Amino acid sequence: MGVTITVGLEDKGLSGLISDLQAKIGDLTPVMKQIGELMVASVKKNFEVSGRPKWRPSMKLRKNPEDKTLILHGDLSTLFHRKAYNNRVEIGTNVKYAGVHQFGFSGVVTQSVNRHTRRMTDRSGRVRSVAVSAHSRQARINIPPRPFMMAQDEDFAAIEELLKRWLRK
């Protein structure tokens, strides 16, 4: 499940500016593209600073403080798309697990484990191989919400400035 945010007519008192712009110059798609770029940069910043407001640290981060919450391979923090329209822009990601991190998840999942060989070291330091049969297991998962796809108050000030600049053209 991906996640999308839309900046449009109803947001933070910008509807008047957007309506004025549409009446004056018609198609707002070019300025909506600029707003989309601004919002993608803002969402990426959420990852760089581990959330705005700060996210609850992941278990992995507690073990290795050099890691960042929600950044393992970088897919979630970099794979964004944007689509500009005449009166809005949509920013989203198709990363399957995005919704889990955005909104959180608590429940039981079934994990499938393929047949494999596990290498184990015993107390004497001897390494031995153990065959593990294919099986499934259930695990209780509790992932707190860490909203990354969100506009900050400072973004709305920057969007307002972009719209005013566009209107003065």
What confidence score (pLDDT) does residue 166 get?
A: 83
What confidence score (pLDDT) does residue 16 get?
A: 73
CA-to-CA distance for 110 and 10, rounded, in angstroms? 41
CA-based max dimension of the chain: 80
| Phi, psi (deg, nearest 5) at residue 17 | -65, -40
CA-to-CA distance for 141 and 113, rounded, in angstroms? 17
HEC string for the chain: CCEEEEECCCCCCCHHHHHHHHHHHCCCHHHHHHHHHHHHHHHHHHHHCCCCCCCCCCHHHHHCCCCECCECCCHHHHCCEEEECCCCEEEEECCCCHHHHHHCEEEEEEEEECCEEEEEECCCCCEEEEEECCEEEEEEEEECCCCCCCCCHHHHHHHHHHHHHHHHC
What confidence score (pLDDT) does residue 70 get?
A: 62
Per-residue pLDDT of the chain (169 residues; tens, 9 = 90+): 555 656 554 566 667 776 776 676 778 899 899 999 999 999 888 888 877 877 777 666 666 666 666 666 566 766 788 899 988 888 888 888 888 888 999 999 999 999 999 999 988 999 999 999 999 999 998 888 888 888 888 998 999 899 888 878 7
